[in-house]
Structure 1
């Protein structure tokens, strides 16, 4: 049995936590409600993180995004990822310390 909550519940909790804290959180693309991956765009930091495997083998938020020097924007990056993986959720956070909110909600 998988111990993870369905993705739609995790995304809803993240949206609520950020919005309740005075930030702005929006879903840019909806993926599979039960098992979709979550890509988080940190608007204020101009970077992207997603759930992956950390160095200790546990779930962690890992840096993602376009390769340095590629000239690809974050929007182009997530749109390309969505084209390959329609189950992918894309959530944008506009709040100071957005990675903390994402980590506490997605990994917590």
Structure 2
């Protein structure tokens, strides 16, 4: 066991923070509640969609990685999900989406 919080708990925290700030958050695909991966689609105020996920940074530490594809974001996450049924996909729509994602995922 690595001491990380269960993914389901992280998702709940992200949704609550986003909704409490006046933004909107929703689960697009539910994965494994304990150890599933987490893909966050952050929608910026200018309606730009970005895909963020936990990964390993260049220094070997946990980092928030921008995985935004050049093509359609919906098609990208659906392909990822078809290969990994444990993957959670969460959409956060609001000005603080990236900040909340970083604070929640990187501080668990």
With the length of structure 1 as denominator, give the TM-score of the two structures: 0.91
Task: Kindly indicate whether residue 69 of structure 2 is the aligned counterpart of residue 46 of structure 1.
Answer: no
* Per-residue CA distance 1:18-66 (angstroms, 9 max, x = gap): 1001100100000000000100001223111100001121111101132
2:104 match: secondary structure: helix
Gaps of 5+ in 2: none
* Per-residue CA distance 1:43-94 (angstroms, 9 max, x = gap): 223111100001121111101132x3xxx31001000100000000000000
Gaps of 5+ in 1: none
With the length of structure 2 as denominator, give the TM-score of the two structures: 0.91
Is this contact kept in 1: 2:23–2:92, CA < 8 A?
A: yes
Q: CA RMSD in A?
A: 1.0
Aligned residues: 104
| Deviant stretches of 4+, over 2 Å | none
